[in-house]
């Protein structure tokens, strides 16, 4: 057995408490062996957590990682115009090597910010999988299907592709990669194709992941056409099981919240993207109260404009307060729980808890900078004061992805340089 020890710091425990403790992990199984003061003393490799706090590696439970290439490409437009006028046209220019470059850039950014797992919905998924495998984090990947407005042949090919990707990569990279069937949304995929997505997911035993109720533009047409709410429609199609998970859930009514709670389907809240696109505020306190499982996601960098999970955590905690008009609407501790165990569970990925037997996915966050001094309450700091740049080490599956702020599995300089060049070329092609 070869061990990794993280010593000298405090540890965020699954119950939300924080205690002085070391963490010992087995690098072969990628599991945590013990969490206790002194256990890291004889470890084969050591990470220093003094002055910091060991937290579960964060899971970004909804993203389109390669969209880092489009960071700042278009801003200040609502979702529909932003997609149709700017994002979709430029995405049409993205080749496989662009997706690889953008995904690696996003992974570099996320590992720097303590992310050890990500859910990615995109295309050229072979490239996404290769980037994830090389970088050493976990992911749940899928090909995002759109069928509306496409001819029959194209629809066939889209459905075939999402099924192929889900079949091919589930369990890849020593099990770090899992997959999902990913119909884009309830309004951009027709009913028959949604049906076939459900069949594929059940057949392959992987979840469904899709956008739902992000804007009223995704709700009103369903209500008009079918006389039921979108999540009732999804439920009728069998899209809401306890392994399936949806992104956004901004415009959900009480009946839909009840359905989500009853089916055990998780919702990935994306507050930064929702605010920036003026999509609305998901009713997080009401969903929590009803028992809906909740995680957090950054969405793509083109509508955020970063992939920092601490921004997302702070936005979740403060937007919930603002929207409810209640400063106690989402306190620090449940917000942090949503960002850790909540996101890992929503995505169906290991991790999210620092405890014996759990996956050795963790981040060490410095709490000694001016902006994190003093430390009256480290959980408050995680929610309200810490930013991605405070992460000192990132570990996934017992392997060090970042040590003392140096990436260990990616050549950062090369990644940044290549992304810069490709982004420029893509923007140039789109502008022609």
Does 424 participate in binding a copy of itself (rule CB under 8 A)? yes
H/E element holding 122?
Answer: strand 115-122
Note whether 125 and 141 are within 8 A (CB). yes
Q: Among 332, 346, 396, 400, which residue interacts with a copy of itself (rule: CB under 8 A)?
A: 332
**Interface positions, 301-330, toward a copy of itself (CB under 8 A):** 301, 304-308, 311, 314-315, 317-319, 321-322, 324-329
Rg (CA), the chain: 21
The span of 181-189, 224-232, 282-290, 416-424 binding a copy of itself (CB under 8 A) equals 416-424
Provide the 3-class DSSP secondary structure of residue 235. Answer: helix
CB 4 within 8 A of CB 44: yes
Give SS3 for 296.
strand
Looking at the Cβ atoms of 3 and 215, the one nearer to a copy of itself is 215
Q: Judged by CB under 8 A, does residue 109 bind a copy of itself?
A: yes
In this structure, the strands spanning 362-366 and 391-396 are antiparallel
At residue 430, the 3 state secondary structure works out as helix
**Closest-CA residue to 48 (of 404, 390, 388, 405):** 404
* Complete DSSP assignment for 30-93: TEEEEEETTTTTT-SEEEE-TTEEEEEPEEEEEE-GGGGGGTTTS-SS-HHHIIIIIIHHHHTT
Q: Is 403 in the site for a copy of itself (CB under 8 A)?
A: no
User: Is the Cβ of residue 238 or residue 280 nearer to a copy of itself in the bound state?
Assistant: 280
- List the one residue from 47, 58, 79, 182 that touches a copy of itself (CB under 8 A): 79
Would you count residue 405 as binding a copy of itself (CB under 8 A)? no
Q: Is 84 near a copy of itself (CB under 8 A)?
A: no
Phi and psi at residue 13, in whole multiples of 5°? -90, 160
Kindly give the pairing relationship between strand 22-26 and strand 31-36: antiparallel
**Are 247 and 209 within 8 A, CB to CB?**
yes
Our CB check for a copy of itself shows the closer of 20 and 255 to be 20
Position 411 contacts a copy of itself (CB under 8 A): no
Should residue 134 be labelled a site residue for a copy of itself when binding is judged by CB under 8 A?
Answer: no
Cβ contact 289:258 at 8 Å: no
383-to-21, 247, 249, 344 alpha-carbon distances in Å: 21, 21, 22, 17
When asked if residue 289 is in the footprint of a copy of itself (CB under 8 A), the reply is no
Contact code string over 27-66 relative to a copy of itself, x by CB under 8 A: ----------------------------------------
Interface residue with a copy of itself, options 50, 373, 406, 411 (CB under 8 A): 373
Among 131, 252, 272, 341, binds a copy of itself (CB under 8 A): 272
- Residue 299 binding a copy of itself, by CB under 8 A: no
Q: Quick one: 249 or 398, whose CB is closer to a copy of itself?
A: 249
Dihedral of the alpha carbons of 61, 91, 180, 244, in degrees to the nearest 10: 60
Compute the CA torsion angle 54, 327, 299, 377 (nearest 10 deg): -10
Among 25, 32, 58, 69, binds a copy of itself (CB under 8 A): 69
Q: How far apart are CA 203 and CA 400, in angstroms?
A: 35
**Nearest distance, CB of residue 49 and a copy of itself, angstroms:** 18
Q: Looking at 388, 393, 395, 399, which residue binds a copy of itself (CB under 8 A)?
A: 388
- CB under 8 A: which stretch of 57-65, 117-125, 130-138, 376-384 binds a copy of itself? 376-384
Could you tell me the smallest distance in angstroms from the CB atom of residue 421 to a copy of itself? Answer: 9
Contact status: 142 vs a copy of itself (CB under 8 A): no
> Is 376 a residue that touches a copy of itself (CB under 8 A)?
yes
**How many of the chain's residues bind a copy of itself (CB under 8 A)?**
73
Based on the shown chain and the rule CB under 8 A, indicate whether residue 94 belongs to the binding site for a copy of itself.
no
């Amino acid at each position: 057995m070869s061990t990794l020890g993280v010593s000298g710091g405090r540890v965020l425990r699954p119950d939300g408490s924080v205690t002085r403790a070391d963490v010992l992990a087995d690098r072969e199984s990628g599991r945590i062996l013990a969490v206790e003061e002194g256990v890291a003393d004889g470890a084969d490799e050591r990470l220093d957590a003094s002055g910091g706090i060991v937290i579960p590696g964060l899971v970004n439970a909804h993203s389109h990682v390669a969209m880092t290439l489009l960071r700042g490409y278009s801003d200040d437009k609502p979702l529909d115009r932003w997609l149709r006028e700017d994002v979709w046209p430029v995405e049409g220019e993205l080749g496989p090597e662009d997706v690889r470059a953008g995904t690696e850039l996003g992974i570099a950014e996320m590992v720097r910010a303590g992310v050890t797992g990500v859910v990615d919905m995109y295309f050229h998924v072979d490239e996404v999988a290769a980037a994830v495998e090389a970088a050493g984090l976990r992911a749940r990947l899928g090909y995002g299907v759109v069928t509306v407005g496409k001819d029959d042949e194209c629809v066939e090919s889209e459905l075939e592709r999402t099924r192929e990707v889900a079949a091919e990569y589930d369990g890849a990279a020593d099990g770090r990669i899992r997959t999902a069937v990913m119909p884009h949304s309830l309004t951009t995929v027709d009913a028959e194709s949604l049906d076939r997505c459900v069949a594929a997911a059940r057949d392959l035993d992987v979840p469904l992941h899709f956008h739902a109720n992000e804007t009223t533009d995704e709700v009103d047409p369903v209500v008009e056409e079918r006389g039921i709410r979108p999540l009732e429609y999804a439920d009728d199609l069998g899209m809401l099981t306890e392994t399936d998970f949806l992104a956004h859930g901004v415009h959900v009514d009480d009946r839909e919240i009840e359905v989500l709670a009853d089916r055990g389907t998780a919702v990935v809240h994306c507050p930064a993207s929702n605010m920036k696109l003026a999509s609305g505020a998901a009713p997080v306190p009401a969903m929590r109260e009803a028992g809906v499982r909740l995680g957090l996601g950054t969405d793509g960098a083109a509508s955020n404009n970063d992939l920092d999970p601490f921004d997302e955590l702070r936005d979740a905690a403060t937007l919930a307060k603002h929207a409810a008009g209640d400063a106690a609407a989402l306190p620090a501790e449940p917000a942090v729980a949503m960002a850790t165990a909540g996101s890992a569970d929503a995505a169906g990925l290991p991790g999210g808890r620092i405890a014996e037997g759990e996956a050795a996915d963790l981040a060490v966050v410095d709490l000694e900078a001016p902006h994190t001094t003093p430390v009256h309450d480290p959980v408050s700091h995680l929610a309200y004061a810490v930013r991605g740049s405070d992460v000192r080490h990132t570990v996934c599956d017992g392997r060090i992805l970042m040590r003392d702020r140096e990436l260990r599995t990616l050549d950062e300089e090369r990644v940044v340089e290549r992304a810069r060049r490709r982004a420029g070329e893509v923007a140039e092609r789109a502008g022609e």
